[in-house]
Amino acid sequence: MRKFFWGLLGMFALSVGFAQTPGVGFYSGYPTYLGFQYQSANLRLGAGFGFFGIAGDAALILAKTSLPGYSSMGMSWYYGLGLGASVAFGGTVFGVYPHGLVGVEIQLPDPAINPYLEGQLGAHVLFPTPIFGPYFAGRVGVILR
């Protein structure tokens, strides 16, 4: 366990600076159809309205690199880990969503807007009755830098 912890810490240390572009932005997708995000270094925080309530997530971007052949266009891809949560309207159902994520970001020279597309895969747990299942999600967004 100790080796795993130090390995994870080492990967995080190597990945600092290889995140999505810092800034604020907006996104849409599933389970959040309209959300707001804040990106700083490797940490991204988001919150918004889901299809059945409110939802939020935190993501740790582990690495980002230019797409071969598309670096002149400012395209890069990234991957990371995330944890999302949602509460249904009325507060009857609470969900937790650990997941991995992969995305593509385009850095436009002007205006200072970076569009991105992201897919997420993981598991979901719904409470009060623990129901487990696969989690598929995605988002399309813009980062204002």
The mean pLDDT value for 11-24 works out to 55
Residue holding tokens 């813009």? 142
* CATH 1.20.1050 describes domain 2-144: no
DSSP string, 102-124: EEEEE--SSSSEEEEEEEEEEEE
According to the model, what pLDDT value does residue 112 have? 82
Token representation of residue 57: 């997530």
- pLDDT tens digit string along 24-80? 999 999 888 899 999 998 999 999 998 889 999 999 999 999 888 776 778 999 999
Segments making up each domain of the chain, as ranges: 2-144
- pLDDT tens digit string along 18-35? 456 788 999 999 888 899
Kindly report whether the global pTM for this prediction surpasses the value 0.95: no
Of 85, 13, 66, 7, the C-alpha closest to 42 is 13
* Percent of the chain residues past pLDDT 90, beyond the cut: 54
> What does the alpha-carbon distance between residue 91 and residue 128 come to, in Å, rounded to a whole number?
10
| Number of helical (H) and strand (E) elements in the chain, helices listed first | 1, 8
> What does the alpha-carbon distance between residue 129 and residue 56 come to, in Å, rounded to a whole number?
21
pLDDT band, very low/low/confident/very high, at 11 (cuts 50, 70, 90): very low
According to the model, what pLDDT value does residue 9 have? 38
Token representation of residue 88: 């249904």
Does position 135 have pLDDT exceeding 80, yes or no?
Answer: yes
